[in-house]
Structure 1
Amino acid sequence: MKRSRLLLSAILLFVSVGILLCSNTSVWAEDEKASQSVSEPAATSWLERRKVIERHWLDLLGDFPTEIPELRPEMKQVAQEEGITRYHVSFQTEPDDRVTAWLLVPDEARKRPTPAIICIHSTTFGAGKDSTIGLAGRRPQDPPRDPKIGVASGLELARHGFVTLSIDLLTDGERIKPGERVMDTRGFYLKHPEWSIVGKNTWDIMRSVDFLQTLDFVDGKQIGAIGWSLGGHTALFAAAFEPRITATISNGGVLDWHRHVTAWSRKASSWQPWKEGDPPSKSETLKRRFGFYPNSGPYIYIKKFRPYIDDQSKPIPVDFDSLMMMVAPRPLLIISSEQEFYRHKIFPKCLKAFEVYLNWQDVEGLPSALKARQERLGYDQTLEYYETQHRIAPERIPGMLSELGAGDCFSWFSFPGGHSYPGVARRFTFAWFDRWLGRTLD
């Protein structure tokens, strides 16, 4: 029954999404061996497979800290307009490091505990969190970008009614160390040679969840995460490793290994960070794209990935489909432009992840898809409607819903155009978070 249900669902998905499958199989097949860890024997339980996948990822990213400092949060109101109060906040993430962020609180959130969403900025050159709430462009001195691009998710979602926390990632915004360049991760690797900036960003989001759960106007069980571009990439990692994130949207993130792109793990001639007086960096390519020389440092995502760049025949133990699988059964939405769906081979990865969601069976040690449905806004209406209109006893509904697995908790959405977050995608975002964070059904 499961096999036929999966086949029928796959056919419907191919028809409804209508994306490019016919002519590009050979392009997608070239990295097929990149996710060997998820090709375990069928008899292996998902809980066991997930542990194997997680270990492979941590071997690349590095383990998270075992020392967890007190949060010691600081929170200061700086503005109030359009029914939203803005706070500047910071909290401890490591003993010698603090996350800085903007917290936007709609007036409506004061009336009852409200779901909160962590908003993760794209690649900027010093603006960081300011870009996420519409205070600046890519640089602090630049005006906010065109709203049609959709950068300011922290502001848009707060206007929609959610509490939002827009953080600075390390090496951007307020977290650029004095005298160093934006996005220069070499200092981080001097301090943490066995970790990765991806692991560090994930850890900082975990600490962001800790902070949000201290606020009495936040529903601590309903916390989402969203990001665009670099933020979309980061949001998926955060959701995979932080089980308290209830629902996630990854928009325009690179979800594919590109071994020719040295940013995954540069072979740095020097691991010493740039200091005042060193020659500035000047990339004609970046100037053409952004209109200025960003003078950014070498951003190194995963230092331990270097062997897979040096020897491109070496099989990579995990791919981003397995990262999507680790989020299951919690809701996950993947958004990208049509061209990005093609370039990053996203569609076949989604189909692999969808199998895990569709065939989900609740198991001890992992979240319950059925319990999540029962706790969402609207479940009472489900029971009432089908009892009065169809004479289905309320006690039968859980069994019916359990047969859905978590198939509708995973989805994807593509749009025409360039690397952006246009209105059509943002409206999908509002609906997704309303549905799975239980803000409103109106």
Structure 2
Amino acid sequence: MAAAYRKELAPLTAGLADPAEWERKREAIRKQWLELLGGLPDRVPVRFTRLASAREASHTRHHIRYDTVHGDTVTAYLLVPHIADGSHAHPSWKLPAVMALHSTANAGKGDIALASGRDGRRYALELADRGYVVLAPDTITAGERKAEDAEYFHTAAFDAEYPEWSAVGKMLADHLQGLDLLCSLPEVDPERVGAIGHSLGGYNAYFLAGMDARVKAVVVSCGLSTFHGDPDPNRWGKRDWFTHIPKVTELLRADQLSFDFHEIAALAAPRPFFCWIAQQDQYMPHWKEIGEAAAELHRLYKYLGCGDRLQAVIGTSGHDFPDPIRNWAYAFLDRWLKKEPQP
């Protein structure tokens, strides 16, 4: 196991003379982040194919495939509440929507959008029941996007084809395409779109929110992390299964890593941000340092005059998204997405 990375967290408000300067600092962080990921290709026009549809009690589930960069496609479930019927003819009926991103589950989108999904993971299905239009895509290497000759969540083939890119960059590009699709739907109010995810889906949710201001609120379960205090910081670098950001390994080895994930999460500020941190999380066990990151985020939100938009909750659960926390998260989304859009 790699040695723990123990550098202190950089204060997010350092060097700011007033809140208006945050945008300058934010753009500098964003530029550095994109360079680390290997950049983002230009997006392609919205185009999707409906493969099948099934009517459920509260919504219709559409099995779709949509276009993404480099000629690739993404399989997804699109859940449309029955109350959206006719919304295209009545703009005032347009619904809030959510990008629901799955965790490291072989079933991919099915784990969060189907009744067969695991307990504590069916947040796409539960949000559709609450009246949200929900897009739940498969990430690369999961669900229907696993190559026939590969194992789930093994990125070796992708890394070989795109040696200058990263799996995080690829996931972000795919989710931006999904956001384009979601905002284009006649049932959706594009000013009331959020993102939610657990674990892999949790950090993908705030990565997406940080890159696109159309995400008006974000919920992260067991997805915020830090290099600071992590007993295995190379979890983010080169591995023999899912390699997130290849460049991280060399930067760690050379002691030249110049960012931490609270800065990437801060790219979403000042938009509403809910974060669940579990003290018994076996995958991200350094909950005290992650709590420090959440506190630093809250200091930034207060500095920007919107401290009420950041809610961080720490509890005794393991790597899970328990019922009380999900209900709290849903109420948070309702607060910010089921009313007039926030600036």
Fold shared per TM-score above 0.5: yes
Counterpart code for 1:317? S
Equivalents in 1 of 2:34, 2:327: separation in Å? 35
Aligned with 1:351 (options 292, 295, 310):
295
Query: Structure with the greater relative contact order (CA < 8 A, sep ≥ 6): 1 or 2?
Result: 2
Aligned with 1:410 (options 289, 294, 310):
310
Equivalents in 2 of 1:123, 1:170: separation in Å? 11
Equivalents in 2 of 1:159, 1:39: separation in Å? 39
Equivalents in 2 of 1:90, 1:222: separation in Å? 23
Equivalents in 2 of 1:83, 1:75: separation in Å? 19
Residue number in structure 2 paired with 1:266: 238
Matched position secondary structure for 1:128: coil
Q: Is 2:170 the partner of 1:226?
A: no
Aligned with 2:179 (options 205, 209, 215):
209
How far off its partner does 1:355 sit? 2.1
Query: Could you tell me the TM-score, scaled by structure 2's length?
Result: 0.88
Map residues 243-322 of structure 1 onto 2, 5 A cutoff.
Answer: 243-257=213-227, 258=230, 260-266=232-238, 298-311=241-254, 314-322=255-263
Residue number in structure 2 paired with 1:382: none
Residue number in structure 2 paired with 1:15: none
Q: Could you say if the C-alpha distance between residues 415 and 195 of structure 1 is closer, same or farther in structure 2, counting changes exceeding 3 Å?
A: same
Aligned with 1:46 (options 1, 12, 22):
22
More strand by share: 2
Aligned with 2:274 (options 327, 333, 353):
333
Map residues 24-423 of structure 1 onto 2, 5 A cutoff.
Answer: 30-32=6-8, 35=10, 38=12, 40-43=14-17, 45-66=21-42, 68-110=43-85, 111=87, 112-125=93-106, 127-136=107-116, 144-145=117-118, 147=119, 150-257=120-227, 258=230, 260-266=232-238, 298-311=241-254, 314-340=255-281, 343-344=286-287, 345-360=289-304, 405-423=305-323
How far off its partner does 1:316 sit? 2.1
Gaps of 5+ in 1: 1-27, 137-143, 269-297, 361-404
Q: Give CA deviations for 1:283-335 in whole Å, capped at 9, x if unaligned.
A: xxxxxxxxxxxxxxx11010111123324xx1421111112221111111111
Q: Is the 8 A contact 2:224 2:277 kept in 1?
A: no
Equivalents in 1 of 2:237, 2:138: separation in Å? 22
How far off its partner does 1:254 sit? 4.7
Matched position secondary structure for 1:300: coil
Equivalents in 2 of 1:407, 1:262: separation in Å? 32
Counterpart code for 2:130? H
Equivalents in 2 of 1:64, 1:29: separation in Å? 28
Residue number in structure 2 paired with 1:8: none
Q: Could you say if the C-alpha distance between residues 350 and 166 of structure 1 is closer, same or farther in structure 2, counting changes exceeding 3 Å?
A: same
Equivalents in 2 of 1:359, 1:254: separation in Å? 21
Gaps of 5+ in 2: 88-92
Identity %: 31
Q: Is the 8 A contact 2:68 2:74 kept in 1?
A: yes
Counterpart code for 1:69? V
Q: Could you say if the C-alpha distance between residues 267 and 166 of structure 1 is closer, same or farther in structure 2, counting changes exceeding 3 Å?
A: closer
Equivalents in 2 of 1:30, 1:262: separation in Å? 13
Q: Is the 8 A contact 2:226 2:293 kept in 1?
A: no
Query: Could you tell me the TM-score, scaled by structure 1's length?
Result: 0.69
Q: Give CA deviations for 1:60-103 in whole Å, capped at 9, x if unaligned.
A: 2121113x222221124421121211101111111320111001
More helix by share: 1
Q: Is the 8 A contact 2:13 2:300 kept in 1?
A: no
Q: Is the 8 A contact 1:134 1:151 kept in 2?
A: no
4+ aligned runs moved over 4 Å, structure 1? none
Q: Give CA deviations for 1:201-222 in whole Å, capped at 9, x if unaligned.
A: 1111111110012210111111
Q: Is the 8 A contact 1:56 1:317 kept in 2?
A: no
Q: Is the 8 A contact 2:279 2:315 kept in 1?
A: yes
Counterpart code for 2:325? A
Matched position secondary structure for 1:78: strand
Q: Give CA deviations for 1:247-296 in whole Å, capped at 9, x if unaligned.
A: 1001011512247354322266xxxxxxxxxxxxxxxxxxxxxxxxxxxx
Counterpart code for 1:424? P
Q: Could you say if the C-alpha distance between residues 332 and 254 of structure 1 is closer, same or farther in structure 2, counting changes exceeding 3 Å?
A: closer
Structure showing greater Rg: 1
| RMSD (Å), alpha carbons | 2.3
Moved more, 257-266 or 349-358: 257-266
Q: Could you say if the C-alpha distance between residues 83 and 260 of structure 1 is closer, same or farther in structure 2, counting changes exceeding 3 Å?
A: closer
How far off its partner does 1:31 sit? 2.5
Q: Is the 8 A contact 2:102 2:197 kept in 1?
A: yes
